[in-house]
A and B are shown apart, each in its own frame.
Chain A
Amino acid sequence: MREVVLTEPGDFAEWRRAARGLLAGGVAPDEVSWRGSAEGASLFGDAVAAAPAGRLSLPRALVEIAERVICYRDPEVPARLYRLVWRALHDRQLLARTTDAEVAWLRGADKAIRRDVHKMHAFVRFRRLGEEAGRESFAAWFEPSHRILRLTAPFFQRRFYGMDWAILTPDARAIWHGEKLSYGPGGTRDEVPDSDVVEDQWRTYYGAIFNPARVKIDAMRAEMPKKYWKNLPEAQDIAPLLAGAEARVERMREAAVSLANPLTDKWRTRVPEELLLDDDVKTLDDVARAVDRCTRCPLYCNATQGVAGEGPQTARIMLVGEQPGDQEDLQGRPFVGPAGLVLNEALEEAGIDRTRLFLTNAVKHFKFEPRGKRRLHQNPTTGEIDICRWWLDKERALVQPDLIVTLGASALRGVTGKSASIKAMRGAVHELAGGTKLIATIHPSFLLRLPDRARAAEEREMFVADLALARKLAA
């Protein structure tokens, strides 16, 4: 029987040195007895010679877990870990065998350590010692369940770089002076001041943020176990807060509704915006404001905003699309999404300057179906198009274009009031009542949806040709 004496419980480096020696010597787990130095000197058995480490390869994840689990406060840990690394030498899949009892123990211990680490990150409470040369110093007393100081100290270093601090635990202490993290022997609670100047503020906050109407003691205890309470300044207030909760709620319920605060009228300086009557709409700016407040159909309920047309009032060509898409809805401008990009390219190819067009949509609010993190565009119904024609007509009346280009069937319906076939109308110039010319073509988003490349190129060419015709007509 080999015997290993570990002088520093929880020291991974020491355990690893010993374990490497044993593994290199081919010593099976049941031939080793692991002892802590407190358990007395080794009486029997052969001490382990520091055998050359040789080439040992262990799964990295296992080494990482072992580094944490060595902190677990249980005398069996060094032996259990050795058994696991021994098995891992021959079984690379060991950690994945979650149903194996020893692996399950390892995972359980690791979980306990990680929880303890997390709780230490949360529940350490520093108390101020003083300030020297503009640098404040603090100290904390903490009693973790396991020997985790070395696992947690780097976190506090990263977080509190700009101040000096020490964390004392019964096993060890960690000290930070702004340059190097150092460790020392365990301490006692009375080495740390028993109060801090802002503790009153903290306890005031703790008492005020608690809502007496929703007491859930078990939920609190599950996350903040009682064993930590004695080092949390706010914990002394839990009992009195709970004792007073019921009465506070009762008082709330009984309190008669008092008269409105007389200051109300002074503060409430603003009257709700006067609603613009639809008939007051005299300019394109009025249209934009009024469209945004439009409630003629229910689409406004879910869309971000109404998106009115955009462009100079003097524009000779008016381009009418279907409705705002996701990007248009967010930005409040027409044709700024993917279809807008396609349109821009096509316009450029056709030799049309976008800034000289009036761009708008048949329907002013985005209609969509939420699907996870996206909004799927939905075609507007003829009803929605017809209701929204009110706004399209206003825009037409204000801009009075010579030529309207409708993009897609919804746009065609919006302009003509009738459902006609684009296919039948395409390529020709039509005349609307009042003499305005009309060209009907497809919506650029149609080009985005075509999976067949050759077909898409062909359709795109036709689309550019339609736009070029528009340019010629308006010239």
Chain B
Amino acid sequence: MSTKPILEKLAVLADAAKYDASCASSGTVTRDSTGTKGIGSTEGMGICHSYAPDGRCISLLKILLTNFCIYDCRFCINRASSNVERARFNPQEVVRLTLDFYKRNYIEGLFLSSGIIRSEDYTMEQLVEVARILREEHRFQGYIHLKTIAGADPGLIALAGLYADRLSTNVELPTEAGLQSFAPEKKSATIRKTMASVRVSESDAIDAAKSRLIGKAKPPRFAPAGQSTQMIVGADAARDDDILQTATNLYSGYQLRRVYYSAYSPIPDASSDLPPVRPPLMREHRLYQADWLLRFYGFERAEIMEGASGGMLDLAIDPKLAWALQRREAFPVDINRAPREMLLRVPGLGTKAVDRIVAARRLGKLRLGDLAKLTASVKKLLPFIITPDWRPGKLTDSADLRARFAPPAEQLALAL
């Protein structure tokens, strides 16, 4: 066991956790400390308490219990063969840090992950123990996200879900082949089985809640913020199409709340077969946009890929615009008459703007000037919409339409 001072351990084990993309603290049940007289609350909506200079929000204390690991995944800084500095917290230290930070309003809660030590079950037990101490001994009501260890016993997963708001199992690489060559100890089947056991526990808990007798206490909710996963983008040869295919499979199979896409970031002491490049942040961004189209805009993966080429999304323009440019026959859309589903397909209209338009047009016809009050940028919409005072005419079919939206080449180089 390492005997480093807490400050050094924190530096090592937070540094080791910085490659995990997810930090959300939203989507869970509402609870607070009034009844328990303890500390902590969640109000459904997450709060970002700070932002790192990399633009990412800091909502949770995101650390590893330990960065010792018996696995040797090549994309991972903590792989067994890496010479990275190692440290290990004991559960009490993590509890102390979480509570100290929480009481000062630095964080919404804890996101705890770990390198795998001894065995999957042993590691999972340690993670669960931290959550148990927080909840049972300190009546902590804040948010807890536990990383499940793929291959851990389903009984431990079921226990973890009683304490945690969210569970996640990272798939890391989107294809079987990628995992085989970069993470020899990880099997996508094991990962999927762990996700399945989270989903089964979830639906068991829902069934139990439904079938309880009137007057009986509500059984505890299982991971109310659901489960999520992360995929690394750009470390292996997987195309965007493969990534979205995996994402749609995961969303449909395990009812994931979120799939996070994490641009492969060069790690110190990297394995020599990994790209030593800047992380493909724009690609990551486009994947998030495509993911949004899947979940909130009624797009199918195949439709999104119509705007792509060679299985890769267009980096210069967003995927909805890319799709619309391929499907110009569907445009222009009459803002005052089109069904909601079609408005959602207009490039430049988000779900909120569409809701506002649908509400506002009940009270009278919308003109361009009205739209300006309902959406961020009318200019972007012009080629795709009709209002009583606007018709795009030949604009919709003009050959240089893409060029109007695509940024000039030199700007692309500054994608960072």
Contact = CB atoms under 8 A, between A and B. Distances in A.
Interface of A: 93, 96-99, 104, 118, 121-128, 136, 138, 140, 155-163, 196, 198, 200-202, 204-220, 223-224, 232, 234, 238, 241-242, 245, 249, 251-253, 255, 257-261, 263-264, 267-270, 272, 292-293, 300-305, 326, 329-332, 368, 370-375
Interface in B249-265: 249, 251-253, 255, 263, 265
B44 interface: no
Contacts of A373: 251-252, 255
B52 interface: yes
Interface residues of B, number: 94
Contacts of A252: 266-268, 270, 276
A209 B373 contact: no
Contact of A253 (B14, B68, B266, B300): B266
A41 to B, nearest CB: 40
B403 interface: no
A305 B192 contact: yes
B54 A125 contact: no
A158 B373 contact: no
Contacts of B132: none
Contacts of B184: 272
B18 A208 contact: yes
Contacts of B166: none
B53 interface: yes
Contact of B18 (A122, A209, A259, A260): A209
Nearest to B363: A96
Interface of B: 6-7, 10-12, 14-15, 17-19, 32-34, 36-41, 43, 47-58, 61-63, 68-70, 72, 80-83, 97, 100-101, 103-106, 139, 176, 184-185, 188-189, 192-193, 195-196, 199-200, 248-249, 251-253, 255, 263, 265-272, 276, 278-279, 281, 300-301, 356, 359-360, 362-363, 366, 369-370, 373-374, 416
Given A201-B97, A204-B11, A215-B53, A370 B270 contact: no
Nearest to A374: B252
B323 to A, nearest CB: 18
10 contacts: A96-B359, A124-B105, A126-B103, A162-B37, A196-B104, A214-B263, A216-B281, A220-B52, A253-B266, A372-B251
A304 B253 contact: yes
Given A268-B72, A305-B193, A370 B105 contact: no
Contact of B196 (A159, A204, A329): A329
Contacts of A216: 53-56, 281, 416
B253 A163 contact: no
A246 to B, nearest CB: 11
Contacts of A211: 18-19, 52, 54, 56, 265
A224 to B, nearest CB: 4
The B interface, classified by DSSP as helix, strand, loop or mixed, is loop
A368 B248 CA distance: 11
A264 B103 contact: no
B196 A201 contact: no
B192 to A, nearest CB: 5
Given A201-B10, A204-B14, A268-B70, A218 B55 contact: yes
A242 B47 contact: no
A125 B105 contact: yes
A345 to B, nearest CB: 19
Contacts of B48: 122, 223
Given A126-B105, A159-B33, A217-B53, 8 more contacts: A122-B48, A138-B103, A163-B39, A205-B101, A209-B18, A215-B416, A216-B281, A220-B55
B223 to A, nearest CB: 16
B104 A125 contact: yes
B102 to A, nearest CB: 9
